[in-house]
Amino acid sequence: MTERLPRTLADLATLVAGTATGAADTAILGAAPLDEVTAGQITFIDQPERASQAAASLATAVLLPVGIRCEGKPVIEVADVQVAFAKIVAAFRPARRTATPGVSPAAFVSPTAKLAEGVSIGPGATIGDEVTIAAGSTIHAGVHLMAGCQIGTGVTVFPGATLYEDTVVGDHSIIHSGAVIGAYGFGYRQSEGRHELSAQLGNVVIGAHVEVGANSTIDRGTYSSTRIGDGTKIDNLVQIAHNCQIGKHNLLCAQVGIAGSTSTGDYVVMAGQVGVRDHVHIGTGARIGAMAGVSNDIAPGVVAFGAPAIPERDQKILLASLAKLPELRKEFKQMRKVVADLENRDAQSGLGPQAIAPAA
């Protein structure tokens, strides 16, 4: 490991195209989040209310958004703090030695597979018949690409992922460890008292710049393709069932489960543990809150949560009403007592209902 050389405030400002205030030659030895920063390091804040905490910290300098002040510290102002701080952290990390592109002798590659220039295949990986891998893609150790898979340019498949036959992965997509893509869909029909597996003749088609999280699963289509649109990001432990059509630039957070033949528009967001029934459509720009249960179509742009998931305004009214139920129950009991007392008084005075009934 190479020794980390000190940098100056001016160096880091140049690196992130920021504006430095303070001594330009202030030495910076590393970078850390505000809760972990020590003397000699630069930290960052992205909210004004954290400025006083940063000022009181051991940090030697502070990275912050344009317009936020941090008294008593050298600072670097930038437009996007998260992007800039990532560059600074990377600058202090020693460069890791990367393997020269090529096929590990411990990998198995079918003689009918086609590998473009600059492809890397790690040890223990298996590349099946008629697989094609485009330039610059990296297939890590223990990956299994079954027959007919098509891997685009600059794709990374991390260790232990499995892609069933005929899976297609678009350019610059990332498949994380343990992901299983193209497994059989959970579809059965009853025949003579037994559950018979339905046809599994489709595949999975993943667009460009898609990320599939660790241990996530995407099932193959029954007759055609399960599709994931360009730019969609799938978190860890997500299940997407057979025949689903997921739009572009969706965000599907951890433990989302989507049943078969469901479709989404573009820029849909589903928070953690959202469950979606089969054959529904979630419109473009819709956002579904954590642990929601989607049982009907969701219109474009709607923010919905709850089980069943309904629009945010309706759900808030419902929750507010539920919160008032104990009070309403108490009032109802009091009203019943008042009515009972009135009825008893009228009965004792002879003014019950029979007293005022019309004469026959």
Q: Is the pLDDT of residue 18 over 60?
A: yes
**Catalytic amino acids?**
242
282: β partners? 264, 298
Strands 19-21 and 75-78: antiparallel
- The pLDDT-based confidence of 346 (bands split at 50, 70, 90) is confident
Q: What is the pLDDT of residues 22-57, one digit of tens each?
A: 999 999 999 999 999 999 999 999 999 999 999 999
Residue 84, Cβ neighbours under 10 Å: how many?
Answer: 23
278's tokens: 């089969």
Query: How far is it, in rounded angstroms, from Cα 351 to Cα 360?
Result: 18
Q: Is the pLDDT of residue 323 over 90?
A: no
The stretches of 16-95 forming alpha helices (DSSP H) are 51-56, 81-92
Query: How far is it, in rounded angstroms, from Cα 303 to Cα 68?
Result: 31
Q: What is the pLDDT of residues 194-245, one digit of tens each?
A: 999 999 999 999 999 999 999 999 999 999 999 999 999 999 999 999 999 9
Residue with the two structure tokens 């030659």:
25
Q: What is the pLDDT of residue 2?
A: 44
Q: What is the pLDDT of residues 77-130, one digit of tens each?
A: 999 999 999 999 999 987 777 767 899 999 999 999 999 999 999 999 999 999
Beta-carbon contacts of residue 116 (< 8 Å; ≥ 6 apart):
132, 133, 134, 135, 136, 137, 153
Pick from 63-67, 294-298, 314-318: least confident: 314-318
Q: Count of alpha carbons within 13 Å of 200, Cβ hemisphere only?
A: 16
- Residues 54 and 45: beta-carbon distance below 8 Å: yes
Instruction: Give per-residue burial for 164-173: e unless 16+ CB within 10 Å, then b.
Output: bbbbbbbbbb
Peptide bond into 105 cis (omega under 30): no
Q: What is the pLDDT of residue 359?
A: 54
C-alpha pair distances (Å), 165 with each of 126, 138, 139, 184: 12, 19, 16, 11
pTM here is 0.83
Q: What is the pLDDT of residues 135-182, one digit of tens each?
A: 999 999 999 999 999 999 999 999 999 999 999 999 999 999 999 999
